[in-house]
Structure 1
Amino acid sequence: MRTTGSLQALFITLVAGCGPVVDAESSGDGGAMDDGPEGMTGTTGDETTEGPSVTTSPGPDSGPGPDSGPDSGPGCDEIPQGSETFSVPLSVIVAWVDEDGAVTSCADACTAAGLTETWDYLDCYVSHPDWPFPGGGGSESSGGESSGTGDTDGSTTGDATAGDATTGDPEDPVVDLTCDWSQICGRGHAGLRSDGRNQAVDPVGRWAAKAAHAEAASVPAFVHLGRELMAHGAPAALCARAERAARDEIAHAHLMTRLAVRHGAAVPTPVVEPLPVRDLEAIAVENAIEGCVGETWAALEATHQAAHAEHAQLRATMRRIAIDETRHAELARAVDAWCRTQLDDAALARVDAARARAVERLREQVGAHPIDVARATGVPHGDAARRLFDGLAASLWA
């Protein structure tokens, strides 16, 4: 893993390269992040709004946990995913199909076609013997949320004539829209037994509730990290930084819960199984995946939101969170550096391989937030997200 200067400076530079920040005056309520690092202050850890509690599961008898192997990452059992094909008149989705036959918004097209699953990552494509119209060719048109070939197997819903592309109005032919979806686990750890999925109707509320769940779940993660570091003889200052991070996450959970409630969403209660002190390699692997990759990307996302969220109140909230999350990313790098003084070369190779796999998983997931969520919350979307990822990867993970 590369060394670099201030992560905060790096994040602000990368975000600035993605376009101008929100004009505070035009939004009517001020507060855009245009002052640089000195204009940002973190949370104090003493927020009073009630956030989600954490449920402790009974332990080993509760069944297998979400750590299903080196390629899945802590906190993720099997990523919920699926594929549905909808046979619909072209008029149902034509608003999101460009002149070349490409779907410009999988979120809108799949929703219009009948997709009801909640999702974080979505890809889609259209199939028809004469697609794209006009011109024949019989090709499949890949969708606009992210790249991928998809899978045409899956359930089919819609018109009674679905599946027969030759029936119906010749001016409004029936086409097959295949929507491939998956749900991304939030920041996790080996003891986490829940993933934050919720059924909120409002997309911003659904996003905020999942974020609040992730923040609340991070509290016991950092508490346990501090205890494990202490048990392995890590410097006291490193253990203290983990304890401070836990306090930060309490405040973040309060802030995100407040936003979720305003948008009519209920925050799922994190379920965490107590863990023993693990061996140092297991700690280092989890830190590489969740801290050096996951937490670092989350910090960059928060920095982007602090500049681009639609409303000043959310921009101010994300400024506070971005400072703390950046400090947590720095903590992950410090933990990684200390572990490297304790582990042998074979163990370090396994840590590096786990981090590399996490980077590749993240590469496949970035930028797939629904466009309405991206506009409202400022989360990076589409090409902007991919540019941020590429800049981060080149700076830290190359």
Structure 2
Amino acid sequence: MRTFLLRVLVASQWGASLALASGCGPLVESGGSSTPPEGASSESGGGGEPGPPDASAPLDPYPDPTCVGPVHDDDFGYHGQCCYKVHCAAPVGGACPAASDAWPHLDDLPPGSGSCTCDGDGEGGAETIEGPYANRAASDPASCCYLVGAIGCDGRPLLVRGEPRVAPLAHAPSAWSYTALRRFERALADADLSELAPAERRELARRWAERGQNEHASVASFGRFALGLMAVGAPPQLLEAAHRAALDEVRHARLALAIASAYAGEPVGVGPLPLHGALDDIGSLEALTLDAVVEGCVGETLSAIEAEVAAHAAQPPAVRMALQAIARDETRHAELAWAFVRWALATGGAGLRARVAATFARALDQVASEPPGSAGRDLPPSHGFLPAGELHRMRQQAITDVLRPAAAALVAAQFPSTGREFSGGCGNVILGASATYLST
């Protein structure tokens, strides 16, 4: 879990890996700028090329893929990032294939990508297709490589007086039961659930509906967090990241409730969310910070790792796509929480530092002491939920390898109180923590 620990340390000490307005950075694990990959051409595959590139000419190896965006328009608001993927092909007749030929061969795109490429945004020369570049594996016959931009169209708990608050489920036609992600919807419609016993389908429907309730409540949690940020005078980049996170949670809730509806065989949505008492202490820096420790630094870091491991085990494509999207977004949300606490400690002084240390200790001890268990029967892990024993082992490892070291480093660190640290960005993520867990 070393990579995940490093991400958290970066967010908590310098804030350079936050997913903010400028988009995302080198590869899928770190921050950067909204410009194309270093060394990338500004050519587009759609036109303007005089002819196929000469494959015998020396080519630079393809740079790390990046993301740019997110995209904003009047109809859909912020609806995704343009994220580059690599396609390599063999030369034909001594010439590299036309760049436009790379697009149809890409697969494993994020939900909602369909067959849509992304347009150049006019800010830094980002275009849909870039290349050719040399393959990094010199012996690979597919020596002509291109970067192709694809758009993926578009939980943190809501604790009130220490208790989680969710909206009641509504077993009736609901806008929350469907999404606008066409590729995901097609995959969900094609899912074969016939091998599941009726009792398993009912339990999976219940568990996915519960996940949907929690994701739905996360929208309100980030809304409250955004109000708190304004009340304590936090930097605008943190506020922007909080609003983007709330939009992510809307999408997560719709994904989860759509899957619950598929397992249930009927629409599953949510009703009104009771919010009485939810805005108490909204202007308190201490309350906002301690909530972020529990809900974000601990809760969302664990949620991100768990979602990625569950996605690895998932078999129905729609379930896997949903969990991958949730894992990717929850990682950025966890980074936001660590970066905010870092800013709050620089602002709030020694008293707040002591309270943060005590809150970390109490929250981590509570999670570590929870015995293996499940809110219901163990289910086939191929449908999105890890067995209780495996979930317990993974949490123990995450606490030891990520959360305790990161919390100790954060509380012990000395840093200035400025807003300039929050200037980087990051898009899709490969969770090193979960990758390490899966390899053990």
Task: Map Cα deviations across residues 18-54 of structure 1 (whole Å, 9 max, x no partner).
Answer: xxxxxxxxxxxxxxxxx9869999998969xxxxxxx
Does 1:380 pair with 2:386? yes
2:328: which partner in 1?
Answer: 323
- Whole-Å Cα distance in 2 between the matches of residues 258 and 365 of structure 1? 31
Question: 2:274 maps to what in 1?
Answer: 271
1:230 is aligned with what amino acid? Answer: M
In the alignment, what sits opposite 2:397? 391
Q: Could you give the per-residue CA deviations for residues 290-347 of structure 1, whole angstroms, max 9, x where no partner exists?
A: 1011111111111111101232220111111110011000001011101111223233
Does the CA-based 8 Å contact 1:43-1:251 persist in structure 2? no
Aligned to 2:117: none
- Determine the C-alpha separation between the residues in 2 that align with 1:306 and 1:217: 22
Q: What's the offset of the Cα at 1:359? A: 1.7
Name the aligned partner's letter for residue 335 of structure 1. F
Equivalents in 2 of 1:396, 1:188: separation in Å? 21
Change beyond 3 A, Cα 1:43–1:236? closer
Query: Sequence identity of aligned pairs in percent?
Result: 29
- State the alpha-carbon separation in 2 of the partners of residues 186 and 209 from structure 1: 16
The one-letter amino acid of 1:386's match is H
In the alignment, structure 1 residue 345 sits paired with structure 2 residue 359:
no
Give unmatched runs, 5+ long, in structure 2. Answer: 11-26, 30-63, 78-154, 172-198, 406-440
Distance 1:361 1:43 in 2: 37
Change (3 A) 1:373 1:196: farther
| Change over 3 Å in CA distance of 1:203–1:387 after alignment to 2 | same
8 Å Cα contact 2:157/2:164 also seen in 1: no
Work out whether residues 209 and 257 of structure 1, in 8 Å CA contact, stay in contact via their aligned partners in 2.
Answer: yes
1:355 aligns with one of 349, 352, 360: 360
Equivalent residue for 1:258?
Answer: 258
Distance across 2 between alignment mates of 1:364 and 1:252: 29
The one of 161, 165, 171 aligned to 1:194: 165
Check whether the contact 2:323–2:384 (CA below 8 A) recurs between aligned residues.
no
Gaps of 5+ in 1: 10-34, 48-184
Match of 2:43 in 1: none
Following superposition, the deviation at residue 190 of structure 1 comes to 2.7
Q: Cα RMSD (Å) of the superposition?
A: 3.8
After TM superposition, the structure 1 = structure 2 runs for residues 224-303 of structure 1, keeping only pairs within 5 Å, are 224-264=224-264, 266-269=268-271, 270-273=273-276, 274-275=278-279, 277-303=282-308
Greater mean alpha carbon deviation, residues 227-236 or residues 386-395: 386-395
Change (3 A) 1:43 1:218: farther
Among 311, 315, 322, the alignment partner of 1:310 is 315
Mean CA deviation greater in 349-358 or 301-310? 349-358
Distance 2:310 2:215 in 1: 16
| DSSP 3-state at the match of 2:6 | coil
Measured in 2, the distance between the counterparts of 1:377 and 1:215 equals 18
Aligned residues: 236
Classify the secondary structure of the residue corresponding to 1:342.
helix
Measure, in 1, the Cα distance between the counterparts of 2:5 and 2:223: 27
Answer whether contact 1:367 1:382 (CA < 8 A) is retained. Answer: yes
Alignment match, 2:7: 6
How many Å apart are 1:380 and its aligned residue?
3.0
Which residue of 335, 341, 347 corresponds with 1:336? 341
The more displaced of 230-239 and 195-204 is 195-204
Distance 1:7 1:310, change over 3 A: farther
Counterparts in 2 of 1:366 and 1:299: CA distance versus 1, 3 Å: farther
Instruction: Quote the offset at 1:197 in angstroms.
Output: 7.6
**In structure 1, what is the Cα distance between the partners aligned to 2:371 and 2:307?**
14
- Alpha carbons 1:8, 1:326 under 8 Å: kept: no
CA distance in 2, matches of 1:260, 1:357: 34
Structure 1 residue 376, shift from structure 2 partner: 3.9
1:161-207 C-alpha deviation (Å, 9 max, x unpaired): xxxxxxxxxxxxxxxxxxxxxxxx98222377734687997111111
* Deviation at residue 232 of structure 1 after TM alignment: 1.2
Q: How many angstroms apart in 1 are the aligned matches of 2:160 and 2:71? A: 27
CA 1:368 to 1:312, structure 2 compared with 1: closer, same or farther past 3 Å? farther
Further displaced range: 243-252 or 274-283: 274-283
